[in-house]
């Protein structure tokens, strides 16, 4: 799917309905990993024992097991699981949310003064620091340490490491925005603690970054799947504060999405999203569910959503199996169907390199083109006149807020529609709604020139890696970053070729 998104974020910031864990564990494909499920795992057993004290929890024949330092924890089938079977059920009482932070007697007064993201980070840090005095101690013991996060999650990388790994890529801009938002959260927490008085020490920047990495990689946007038509109002979605792109984009001829902008890297759960959301949706850390690793083969059945347990009445989060599992198989959820390499890298710190995630597969090669850069190229000016875009600005789709997603196979209808609307506004003409009108060819040509210029800015070592895929099923660190750049470069060069062929076809038709 190609999309219009806003410039600093991504279209599906949380585990799409169920996002996923990014702990030091990395994704693996369905039924590839097999363990001796009869061997006890002390931390996994402690987590299950704690969750059994919550009404509504059900292990459903799954156990959480440690898979080694490189992969962290995972869900393992103890009994056979059929496709479509219920795989996870975790009650609301075991989760952590920004609302929990604000009602907490320890940090509630501070959490009430900061953003939802900062509030949730503060609550997580308070529970971590309480050690075995925390009700969530058994779960927190399964989370990666700061040392592990610093190696695997780009949010914790130094500026030098970020630039070295991502130079030339728009993904670097997105990552820098994420890092800046962590600093802002740290500053807001420090200021709120200072105003409270009492000498409570503020958390370090590293602490807030760790907590934000946990939220970025493990938090779920929870709403009702409404499968039973019970009208909870908790409609399952995939952005933390914007409408579900699946609702706004579905129905376009090319299946692309026209999305408002948001994202974990935009760093605010509460820019338009509030814990008193009339729909009842909220962002939560969900113990047990976050242990499941991603499979690119998992479909929307493996996306976490809210429901109410008929027997106990407890509000619970559930997901189902997208595949059958034998005893000992690792079970999976989906961190997002069709997740791009850049999004996977930024949110979770890994990139899937399996066949279903290679250009044209489960995570199509694609790259975001800045709306401002596109218009500069289209109009041949350094700075487009802002008043021309008042209508687009009014709905959050001004050039400074918008990116156009392109792939090696072209640009989606909704993305091209935005280009035409912006071009029409810049020309002073009234856009008549004809998405195949006078501006289409000019827009495609301008996008092609921008893509060609962007491709030329990629480091040579990454240009040489275009089309290269590692033999492993996943990569992290600099290997993951290199695959992100290679994927983006394939999208850029492929789009330029697509635009040339499109122009050639039109010329041939004109001459016939």
pTM (whole model) above 0.95? no
What does the pLDDT read at residue 59? 94
CA 465 – CA 24 distance, rounded (Å): 26
Q: Which two tokens stand for residue 1?
A: 């799917």
Which residues are paired to 307 by β-bridges? 316
Strand-strand pairing, 330-333 and 293-294 = parallel
The pLDDT of residue 507 = 85
What is the model's pLDDT at position 294?
A: 87
SS3 66: strand
pLDDT at 274: 34
- In contact, 299 and 337? CB cutoff 8 Å: yes
pLDDT at 438: 63
CA distances from residue 343 to 84, 156, 203, 300, 355 in whole angstroms, order as listed: 27, 16, 28, 18, 18
The three-state (H, E, C) secondary structure of 423-460, written as one string = HHHHHCCCCCCCCCCCCHHHHHHHHHHHHHHHHHCCCH
For residue 221, give every residue at least 6 positions away whose Cβ sits within 8 Å of its Cβ, in sequence order, or none: 13, 14, 15, 16, 17, 19, 237, 238, 239, 240, 281, 282, 283
Residue 354 is predicted with a pLDDT of 63
Instruction: Give me the pLDDT at residue 435, please.
Output: 44
Largest CA distance in the chain: 82
Distance separating alpha carbons of residues 282 and 266, to the nearest angstrom: 17
CA distances, 380 to each of 186, 254, 383, 423, 425 (Å): 41, 30, 9, 12, 15
H runs (alpha helix) in 250-370: 341-348
188 sits in which H/E element: helix 170-196
> Is 106:60 a contact under the CB 8 Å cutoff?
no
CA distance 423 to 142: 51
Nearest to 92 by CA among 285, 277, 240, 237: 285
Helix axes 440-456, 413-427, angle to 10 degrees: 100
The three-state secondary structure class of 406 is strand
Residue that the structure tokens 């895929």 belong to: 469
Specify the DSSP class assigned to residue 78.
S
Q: Are 185 and 242 in contact (CB under 8 A)?
A: no
The alpha carbon of 273 is separated from its chain's Cα centroid by a whole number of angstroms, namely 16
For 313-335, b where at least 16 C-beta lie within 10 A, e where not — what string?
ebbbbbbbbbbebeebbbbbbbb
- Tell me the pLDDT of the chain (512 aa) as tens digits: 335 454 443 333 344 333 333 322 233 333 345 555 545 689 999 999 999 999 999 999 999 999 887 778 999 999 899 999 999 999 999 999 999 999 999 999 999 999 999 999 999 999 999 999 999 999 999 999 999 999 989 999 999 999 999 999 999 999 999 999 999 999 999 999 999 877 778 999 999 999 999 999 999 988 765 544 343 333 333 333 223 333 333 222 333 333 322 222 333 333 223 334 444 678 999 999 999 998 888 888 998 989 988 887 888 999 999 999 999 999 999 887 777 889 999 999 988 876 445 443 445 789 999 998 998 898 887 776 666 677 777 777 788 888 899 999 999 888 998 898 888 887 766 555 554 456 889 999 999 999 999 999 998 765 555 444 445 677 889 999 999 999 999 999 999 999 999 999 888 888 87
- Torsion angle of C-alpha atoms 263, 108, 200, 180, degrees rounded to 10: 10
Q: How many residues does the chain have?
A: 512
Return the pLDDT at 253.
31
Q: What is the pLDDT of residue 385?
A: 62
> Is residue 260 a contact partner of residue 414, using CB atoms and an 8 Å limit?
no
The SS3 assignment for 100 reads helix
Tally Cβ neighbours within 10 Å of residue 200. 12
């Amino acid at each position: 799917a190609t999309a219009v998104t806003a410039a600093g974020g991504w279209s599906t910031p949380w585990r799409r309905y169920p996002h996923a864990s990014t702990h030091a564990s990395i994704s693996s494909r369905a039924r590839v990993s097999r363990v001796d499920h009869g061997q006890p795992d002390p931390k996994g057993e402690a987590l299950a024992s704690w969750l059994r004290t919550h009404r509504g929890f059900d292990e459903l024949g799954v156990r959480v097991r440690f898979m080694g330092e490189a992969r962290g924890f995972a869900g393992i089938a103890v009994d056979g699981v059929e496709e479509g079977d219920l795989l996870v059920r975790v009650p609301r009482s075991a989760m952590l949310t920004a609302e929990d932070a604000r009602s907490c007697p320890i940090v509630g007064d501070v959490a009430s003064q900061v953003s939802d993201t900062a509030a949730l980070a503060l609550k997580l840090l308070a529970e971590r620091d309480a050690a075995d005095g925390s009700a969530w101690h058994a779960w927190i013991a399964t989370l990666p340490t700061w040392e592990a996060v610093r190696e695997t999650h780009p949010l914790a990388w130094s500026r030098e490491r970020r630039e070295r790994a991502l130079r030339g890529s728009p993904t670097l801009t997105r990552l820098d925005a994420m890092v800046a938002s962590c600093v802002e959260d740290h500053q807001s927490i420090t200021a709120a603690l200072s105003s409270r008085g009492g000498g409570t020490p503020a958390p370090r920047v590293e602490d807030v970054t760790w907590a934000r990495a946990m939220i970025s990689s493990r938090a779920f946007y929870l709403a009702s799947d409404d499968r039973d038509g019970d009208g909870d109002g908790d409609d399952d979605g995939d952005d933390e504060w914007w409408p579900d792109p699946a609702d706004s984009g579905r129905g376009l001829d090319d299946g692309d999405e026209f999305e408002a902008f948001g994202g974990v890297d935009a760093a605010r759960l509460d820019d338009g999203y509030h814990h008193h959301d009339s729909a009842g949706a909220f962002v939560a850390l969900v113990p047990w569910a976050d242990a499941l690793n991603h499979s690119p083969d998992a479909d929307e059945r493996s996306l976490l959503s809210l429901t109410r347990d008929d027997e106990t009445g407890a509000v619970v989060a559930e997901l189902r199996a997208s595949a059958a599992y034998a005893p000992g198989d690792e079970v999976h959820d989906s961190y997002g169907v069709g997740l791009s390499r850049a999004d996977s890298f930024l949110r979770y710190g890994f990139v899937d390199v399996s066949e279903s995630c290679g250009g044209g597969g489960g995570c199509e090669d694609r790259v975001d083109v800045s709306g401002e850069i596109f218009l500069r190229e289209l109009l041949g000016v350094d700075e487009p006149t802002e008043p021309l875009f008042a209508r687009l600005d009014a709905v959050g789709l001004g050039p400074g807020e918008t990116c156009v997603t392109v792939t090696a196979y072209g640009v989606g209808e909704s993305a091209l529609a935005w280009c035409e609307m912006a071009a029409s506004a810049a020309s002073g003409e009234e856009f008549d709604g004809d998405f195949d009108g006078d501006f289409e060819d000019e827009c495609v040509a301008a996008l092609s020139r921008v893509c060609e210029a962007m491709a030329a800015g990629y480091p040579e070592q990454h240009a040489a890696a275009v089309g290269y895929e590692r033999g492993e099923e996943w990569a992290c660190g600099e290997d993951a970053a290199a695959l992100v750049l290679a994927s983006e470069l394939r999208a850029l060069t492929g789009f330029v070729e697509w635009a040339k062929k499109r122009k050639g076809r039109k010329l041939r038709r004109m001459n016939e």
